[in-house]
């Protein structure tokens, strides 16, 4: 019973610590623009002069701003949840505004908190934020008269926690797989190198190995990803010419290029921290000093990654015969697997991944067989005086499934006969038309009723 109680207490403490996360102490020296804290890189984009670290701290050293209209984005390498921050103002009545802003990893403003500068005058007050999934943090303020009435703002000890990595690319597919589905997304190699061993020297499960000269093959998925890191192992490390991990954006441009020392990973898996953001393709690029006589081996596995806060949606359509989608492809059969990434297409500025759910229906086709005398006016409005087996007429929406119905005419025209009925009669004759003719005076015919 006591043991269970202690276990519960331990779990409670662990959960408590995890949810509390960490504190950004801003304890770096004056003027620091980028630094490492709590094991992660932090930086200011320096859109304003915003880098005092020693003035009026809450603990240790602090972060102060003292001028007009400063705003500078503080960013780290992954999404964080911000619980709150300590704030102090001076000359509070001279502020025009004081806003704390949070941006997502796609650069879109997702939090904007307006504060009353008087609430924090001359003494630190804690601002509870409880923001989720923030990539950048900004303090935005100004003075009613920056020159004659400058205002000061100080802040320190921001409580935050990292949003954990949500996916691991395990490479646990069978040998030789070039494209597969993992974590509900398609993955593929472009196979520019022989780069598809999956069972040799894995980190867990099966792994991805390359063993030859100068291989480089791009691993891609259907949307931009953030790559936190990957496990790597080398053999014959001293025979490498180079070992680079490269990241490309959706336009195919190189945006990350990490040069590694192969010796650091020889005969034992080591974790390479990358913290790449917005990568569409991942490449391992290496070679041997002498591929023929001194081949080198490279193995990697278990890549930690996450999808940006992208939107997803389904484009449901029912179309007749064929449909050209936003991906430029024309589909002539039903399809519920095609995906298309609209860069920056979501309302939050992130990508929008759309999945097609297309049902293709087919038009009906039939033949209208007619036999008519002399002429026939068809449903296309034309009057035909000769046989015709090629005319077609489309009845829009005429099929039972709502698609068009295409009818082909098969018309046979029979022509009336014409002739002269010559008769020699006495006195009178009743013809086929029912009329009776009688001989009238002077041998003239006269119709008789």
Residues at the interface with Ca ion (CB under 5 A): 23, 25-27, 37-38, 57, 59-60, 62, 156, 168, 170-172, 182-183, 202, 204-205, 207, 301
Q: Which is nearer to Ca ion, 70 or 269 (CB)?
A: 269
Query: CB of 65: closest distance to Ca ion in angstroms?
Result: 15
Query: CB of 168: closest distance to Ca ion in angstroms?
Result: 5
Q: Phi/psi at 410 (nearest 5 deg)?
A: -130, 85
Query: CB of 392: closest distance to Ca ion in angstroms?
Result: 54
Query: CB of 2: closest distance to Ca ion in angstroms?
Result: 35
Query: CB of 63: closest distance to Ca ion in angstroms?
Result: 8
CA 239 to chain centre: 40
Distance CA 120, CA 167 (A): 41
Q: Phi/psi at 34 (nearest 5 deg)?
A: -145, 140
Q: Which is nearer to Ca ion, 137 or 323 (CB)?
A: 137
Query: CB of 270: closest distance to Ca ion in angstroms?
Result: 16
Query: CB of 174: closest distance to Ca ion in angstroms?
Result: 12
Q: Is 4 helix (H, G, I), strand (E, B) or coil?
A: helix
Query: CB of 237: closest distance to Ca ion in angstroms?
Result: 21
Query: CB of 126: closest distance to Ca ion in angstroms?
Result: 14
CA 180 to chain centre: 18
**Could you tell me which of 240, 241, 274 has the C-alpha nearest to residue 257?**
274
Query: CB of 54: closest distance to Ca ion in angstroms?
Result: 10
Q: Which is nearer to Ca ion, 64 or 349 (CB)?
A: 64
Partners of 386 in beta bridges: none
Q: Which is nearer to Ca ion, 182 or 319 (CB)?
A: 182
Query: Residue 262 burial by CB count (10 A; 0-12/13-18/19+): exposed, middle or buried?
Result: buried
Q: Which is nearer to Ca ion, 28 or 94 (CB)?
A: 28
Q: Which is nearer to Ca ion, 300 or 340 (CB)?
A: 300
* Per-residue 3-state assignment (H helix, E strand, C coil) for 123-160: CCEEEEEEEEEEEEEEEEEEECECCCECCEEEEEEEEE
Is the dihedral angle over the CA atoms 216, 275, 226, 184 positive or is it negative? positive
**Could you tell me which of 286, 281, 280, 279 has the C-alpha nearest to residue 262?**
286
Q: Which is nearer to Ca ion, 161 or 363 (CB)?
A: 161
Distance CA 226, CA 80 (A): 14
The tokens 């013809």 sit on which residue?
431
First to last CA, the chain: 128
Distance CA 142, CA 420 (A): 111
Q: Is 94 helix (H, G, I), strand (E, B) or coil?
A: helix
Q: Which is nearer to Ca ion, 39 or 441 (CB)?
A: 39
Query: Residue 283 burial by CB count (10 A; 0-12/13-18/19+): exposed, middle or buried?
Result: buried
Query: CB of 43: closest distance to Ca ion in angstroms?
Result: 15
* Per-residue 3-state assignment (H helix, E strand, C coil) for 63-83: EEECCCCCEEEEEEEEEEEEE
Q: Which is nearer to Ca ion, 168 or 364 (CB)?
A: 168
Q: CB within 8 A of 412, min separation 6: which ones? A: 370, 371, 372, 387
Q: Which is nearer to Ca ion, 35 or 429 (CB)?
A: 35
Q: Which is nearer to Ca ion, 85 or 356 (CB)?
A: 85
The tokens 């300590």 sit on which residue?
86
Structure tokens at 15: 């959960």
Partners of 193 in beta bridges: none
């Amino acid at each position: 019973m006591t043991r269970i109680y202690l276990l519960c207490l331990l779990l409670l403490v662990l959960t408590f610590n995890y949810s509390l996360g960490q504190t950004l102490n801003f304890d770096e020296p004056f003027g620091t623009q980028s630094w490492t804290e709590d094991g992660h890189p932090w930086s200011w984009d320096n859109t304003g002069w915003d880098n005092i670290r020693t003035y009026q701290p809450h603990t240790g050293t602090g972060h102060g701003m003292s001028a007009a209209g400063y705003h500078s984005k503080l960013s780290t390498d992954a999404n964080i949840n911000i619980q709150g921050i300590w704030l102090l103002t001076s000359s509070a009545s001279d502020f025009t505004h004081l806003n704390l802003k949070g941006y997502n990893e796609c650069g879109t403003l997702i939090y904007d908190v307006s504060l009353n500068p008087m609430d924090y005058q001359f003494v630190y007050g804690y601002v509870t934020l409880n923001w989720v999934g923030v990539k950048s943090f900004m303090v935005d303020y100004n003075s009613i008269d920056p020159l004659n009435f400058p205002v000061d703002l100080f802040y320190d000890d921001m409580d935050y926690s990292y949003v954990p990595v949500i996916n691991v690319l395990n490479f646990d597919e069978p040998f030789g797989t070039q494209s597969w589905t993992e974590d509900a997304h398609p993955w593929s190699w472009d196979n520019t190198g022989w780069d598809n061993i999956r069972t040799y020297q894995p980190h867990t499960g099966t792994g991805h190995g390359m063993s030859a000269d100068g291989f480089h093959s791009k691993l891609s998925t259907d949307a931009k990803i953030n790559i936190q890191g990957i496990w790597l192992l080398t053999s014959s490390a001293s025979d490498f010419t180079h070992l680079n991990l490269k990241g490309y954006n959706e336009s195919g441009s190189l945006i990350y290029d990490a040069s590694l020392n192969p010796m650091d990973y020889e005969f034992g898996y080591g974790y390479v921290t990358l913290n790449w953001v917005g990568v569409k393709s991942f490449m391992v690029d290496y070679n041997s000093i002498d591929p023929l006589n001194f081949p080198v081996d490279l193995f990697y596995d278990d890549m930690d990654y996450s999808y940006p806060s992208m939107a997803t949606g389904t484009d449901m359509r029912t179309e007749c015969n064929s449909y050209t989608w936003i991906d430029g492809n024309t589909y002539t059969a039903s399809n519920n697997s095609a995906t298309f990434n609209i860069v920056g297409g979501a309302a939050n500025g992130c990508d929008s991944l759309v999945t097609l759910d297309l049902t293709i229906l087919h038009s009906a086709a039939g033949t209208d067989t007619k036999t008519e005398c002399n002429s026939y006016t068809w449903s296309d409005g034309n009057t035909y005086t000769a046989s015709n087996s090629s005319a077609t007429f489309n009845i829009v929406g005429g099929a039972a499934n709502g698609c068009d119905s295409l009818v082909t005419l098969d018309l046979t025209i029979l022509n009336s006969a014409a002739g002269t009925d010559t008769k020699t009669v006495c006195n009178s004759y009743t013809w086929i038309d029912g009329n009776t003719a009688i001989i009238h005076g002077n041998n003239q015919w006269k119709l008789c009723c």
